[in-house]
Amino acid sequence: MTRHAPYGLMILIAAQLLCAVFFLGDVVADGLEAGWPHFMDWHFGVEALAALALIAGVGFEIRTLMALLRREAHLKEQLGLAAGAFHEIVTQRFADWGLTPSEQDVALFTLKGLAIPEIATLRGSAEGTVKAHLGGIYRKAGVNSRGAFLALFIEDLMTQPADPVPHHPTPVSPTGT
């Protein structure tokens, strides 16, 4: 089970299962005790149906819980792949633009949505220094605002292939043939 597994729900399902086994055992014991003619009594039938419905409900809950846990694991895996792809995009862009280590720090904080005063505090520098770094980052990236800077990365993520295996296009000759 995952670290965040719904233990409370699993305990409730286990309690329901124990109750279902108890009620089913009680119905079977009542049926054996009453004998065949009384076996078809309406009260006995209702108890038997209720016990079977409880068992069916527990089975459904277990299947649903397992499906949800599998889905959660799949989504976590997909999120990990997306985070890795985003990291690769960021690293490549920073290298392409030739950002200094300080500019890379400021750019990462900007991508995380931090405001200039927050970035300055975290870096232990003046707000003017952060603004100067942002100006250099925007110039090197060919944009003029925070929104345009963020849009570069969003666009890259949206145009990445769904297949995590890198595709190598066939080289085109300089003449286009």
Give the span between the Cα atoms of 52 and 26, in whole angstroms.
12
Q: What is the pLDDT of residue 7?
A: 86
SS3 163: coil
Both structure tokens of 34: 């009453």
Task: Say if residue 157's pLDDT is above 90.
Answer: no
Give the span between the Cα atoms of 117 and 123, in whole angstroms.
10
- Give 100-146 pLDDT, tens digit per residue: 999 999 999 999 999 999 999 999 999 999 999 999 999 999 999 99
Domain ranges of the chain: 7-76, 98-159
Give the architecture-level CATH label for domain 98-159: Orthogonal Bundle (1.10)
Q: Indicate left, alpha or beta for 129 from its phi (over 0: left) and psi (-120 to 50: alpha).
A: alpha
DSSP labels, 104-138: HHHHHHHHTT--HHHHHHHHTS-HHHHHHHHHHHH
Q: What is the pLDDT of residue 83?
A: 79
pTM for this prediction:
0.51
Q: What is the pLDDT of residue 173?
A: 43
Nearest to 66 by CA among 12, 19, 9, 3: 9
CB neighbour class for 75 (10 Å; exposed up to 12, middle 13-18, buried from 19): exposed
